[in-house]
Amino acid sequence: MPSYDYDLFVIGAGSGGVRASRVAAAHGAKVAVAEEHRVGGTCVIRGCVPKKLLVYGAHFAEDLQDAKRFGWQVPDCLFDWPALRDNVLSEVERLEGIYNSTLVNNKVELIPERATVTGPHEVKLAGGRTVTAGIILIATGAWPDVPDCPGSEHGITSNEVFHLEALPKRIVIAGAGYIANEFAGIFHQFGSHVTLVNRTDVILRGYDEQIRDRLLQISTVKGIDFKFHAAFEKVEKLEDGSLMVHVTNHDPIPADLLLFATGRRPNTAGLGLENAGVALDDKGAVVVDADNKSTCDSIYAVGDVTNRVQLTPVAIREGHAFADTLFGNKPRRVDYDCIPSAVFSHPPLAGVGMTESQAREKYGSCKVYTSDFRAMKNVLADRHERALYKLVVHSETEVVLGIHMIGPDAPEILQAAAVAVKAGLTKQAFDDTVALHPSMAEELVLMR
């Protein structure tokens, strides 16, 4: 048998790479992981964790206003962006330390350098050293995609948005996916004028149409400006440092900040994967089979770099399944059916299973149950924002095919409800469940 420096060499210490590394090491493998940026990857350092903390911070804008209707004498409050920013970055640093400790405690060698593939079993480090491994795992995630237009260098991406020196008075956000809509809600609550620019007229493609239409309606009423069928022509930087964003079909848009949230590309550029015969698709994603193996038998990939499902919990499961299969003698695969997802917009939305259109396309017909209501808290707060819950049910078997909702705490409620969809429960099972009153979640078992 060939002798290698490591049993497993992981490139990328994000959620998938860290899980794969520590589990493989726990199974007895000699493991090293190379990370050129910071341990924790997109989710911990520049993604879902710091963004969710900003979402919490943004909610206080409405909560403080609503508190007056509940009898609290709340004075006019000023928002201190540097205080929140620095506290969030401090928490990110704390979490990075935990991730580092996790690797150390599991006897995984952390190499803080860029690594590139030079052969099926060989990796070259930025410092010049070459190492060998029986198995190489690519877990480099994805990187923000920026439109190719003159002046695009004047914009930033979600990587940099957490480090702003000051809040912009006017922000243009490019895109209409979950990142765009989440930051639109955040900056609006912080007091910025938000303009969301999208090349089509569809937001949150892939989510249920009724739910995403409700978010568009609520966001518009709040004052977020949407520019549809708008492709970028150029971005000008003016003498005072502000920007003028030129798009098709609309007047130029003045802005103090331009945020590109136009998707993320698999981060494979310059990794040298061609040196080992690793095939990439047209988006640059590593092509893998059900066991995460690439077209090179000794190279595997997990997480966003494969462009299957770009969600942190999926990357973690893929990394764990990879390590168990190759190093733990416990072969298993990730089940991609009924994966719940959420958008932490204002208000948040969440969904699991089939949308109404997907169900009709597959089965020809389906039953749809909805509950369109104002949360009790919103009623007393004199806030007219309405929640919408939706069950998509098989016409014959009565199995609940999907649950979709928008409203306060929708993601928290859906996590539990997703178990029912995954288990294949019927609408009758929902009907037979006694409501927990008074709660928003009870609407799920009261639809008739």
Q: Which residue numbers belong to the known binding site for FAD?
A: 52, 304
Closest Cα to residue 184, out of 152, 227, 144, 153?
227
Q: How far apart are CA 121 and CA 137, in angstroms?
A: 11
**SS3 at position 435:** coil
The one-letter code for the residue type at 200 is T
Residue type, 333: R
Strands 142-144 and 264-266, how do they pair? Answer: antiparallel
Neighbours of 307 (CB within 10 A): 21
**H or E, element range at 183:** helix 178-189
Using CA atoms, how far apart are residues 157 and 175, in angstroms rounded to an integer? 11
**In 181-242, at which residue ranges do the beta strands (DSSP E only) sit?**
193-197, 225-227, 232-237
CA count, 13 A, side-chain hemisphere, 414 = 27
Beta strand segments in 61-184, E: 109-111, 115-119, 122-125, 130-138, 142-144, 156-157, 170-174
Residue 354 identity: M
Feature table: binding site for NAD(+) = 175-182, 263
Residue 272 burial class via C-beta count within 10 angstroms: exposed 0-12, middle 13-18, buried 19 and up:
middle
Active site amino acids: 437
Residues 124-148 as b/e (b if ≥16 CB within 10 A, e otherwise) read: bbeeeeebbbbbbbbbbbbbbebee
Q: What are phi and psi of 375, to 5 degrees?
A: -60, 145
HEC per residue, 225-266 = EEECCCCEEEEEECCCCCEEEEECCCCCEEECEEEECCCEEE
DSSP, res 275 = G
Rounded Cα–Cα distance for residues 144 and 356 (Å): 30
